[in-house]
Each structure stands twice: as structure tokens, then as C-alpha cells.
Amino acid sequence: MRESALVHSIDAPFTIDPYELVVTLSVGIALYPLDGKNERELMFNADAAMYHTKHTGRNGYHFFQPSMNMLAQTQLQLMNDLWLALERPKFQAPA
């Protein structure tokens, strides 16, 4: 698989004297037209798949699944709710 070859092509450390650097690659893949009808939808769904890859251990790849979007939307809603709560004067963050 090309996807696996891409991920493993950067397994070897890079040397930039005097440092040795290790890089990981997390890839999200969305396919046209199944996963999106335009560039925006494809990028959004590929991004969801990439974050799924990062949450499952990094240095890998995942193809987009609709359930990934539900998780991303839930997380976004939680972040929005937290920001709104911080803006309300009755909310006090712990010291």
C-alpha cells in the first residue's frame, strides 16, 4: 500500500549536526466523491481522519469514516460551550 510506504518512508532519524531528529507522520485520507463533493468537505473530512490517527497513536494513517465527523463535531461543541461558559460572569474558574 502506498499509504503505508509513505508513513514508513520517514521512520529513519534525520541528522542535522549535532542533532538527530525523529519525525512521525499522521495522515488522514478522504476520497472524492465518497467523502466529499468539494475541496472544503474533502479537507474537513481528511482533517478528521488525521486527528483520529493522532488519537490512536500517531505515525500512521486512516481513511475517513463518517463516525469520525461525529467525534469532531462533539469536541467542537464542547470547546464552544466551554468558551461561552468562561464569558459568562457567573462562571468562576478554579484558582
In this prediction, residue 93 has a pLDDT band, given cuts at 50, 70 and 90, of low
pLDDT at residue 7 above 90?
Answer: no
Among 44-53, 57-66, 83-92, the range scoring the smallest mean pLDDT is: 83-92
- Within 8 A by CB and 6+ apart from 93, the residues are 86
Q: Please give the single-letter amino acid code of residue 93.
A: A
pLDDT digits (tens, 9 = 90+) for 13-56: 889 999 999 988 899 999 999 999 999 999 999 999 999 999 99
pLDDT at residue 76 above 80?
Answer: no
Residue 24 is placed in which grid cell?
512521525
Spell out the domain ranges in the chain: 2-65
